[in-house]
């Protein structure tokens, strides 16, 4: 079983839609979670960083962590064509390694 599972997509939505991106993880000891956005041929850009269960909001982005279910989500409100990218979830393991999901490719069409 992979430590982090993420649906690769692609996910295609119309402009203005609410997007939900998700990851599940296997080890309840993982506790720091991040979401990255990666445009084609560029390095990943940090979007959100969360520690505890609950929600964290930043502009149109909301990160949600449910530690009891080992499930994390990223919501994008009022999605824009410029949000079209690959979204990666990441987390620190209890042995201080940073591991990633395989990424979900998102396309927002006008």
Nearest residue to 81 (alpha-carbon basis) of 29, 39, 30, 21 = 39
Binding positions for other proteins, 50-69, rule CB under 8 A: none
What is the per-residue burial (b if ≥16 Cβ within 10 Å, else e) of 19-51? bebbbbbeeeebbebbbbbeeeeeebeebbebe
User: What's the min distance (Å) between Cβ of 110 and other proteins?
Assistant: 26
As a whole number of angstroms, the longest Cα–Cα distance in the chain is 43
- Token match 């009891």: residue? 68
User: What's the min distance (Å) between Cβ of 16 and other proteins?
Assistant: 29
Measured from the CB atom, the residue of 14 and 96 that comes closer to other proteins is 96
- CA–CA separation, 41 vs 63, rounded Å? 25
**Residue 32 binds other proteins, judged by CB under 8 A:** yes
**Residue 108 binds other proteins, judged by CB under 8 A:** no
**Residue 77 binds other proteins, judged by CB under 8 A:** no
Measured from the CB atom, the residue of 42 and 77 that comes closer to other proteins is 42
**Residue 96 binds other proteins, judged by CB under 8 A:** yes
Which residues contact other proteins by CB under 8 A?
Answer: 8, 31-32, 34, 36, 41-46, 49, 88, 90, 92, 96-103
């Amino acid at each position: 079983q992979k430590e982090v599972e993420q649906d690769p997509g692609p996910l295609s939505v119309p402009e203005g839609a609410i997007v939900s991106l998700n990851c599940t993880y296997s080890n309840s000891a993982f506790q720091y979670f991040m979401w990255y956005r990666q445009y084609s041929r560029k390095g990943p850009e940090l979007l959100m960083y969360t520690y505890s269960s609950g929600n964290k909001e930043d502009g149109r982005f909301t990160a949600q962590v449910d530690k009891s279910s080992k499930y994390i989500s990223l919501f994008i409100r009022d999605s824009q064509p410029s949000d079209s990218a690959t979204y990666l979830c990441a987390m620190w393991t209890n042995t201080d390694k940073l591991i990633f999901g395989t990424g979900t490719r998102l396309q927002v069409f006008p």
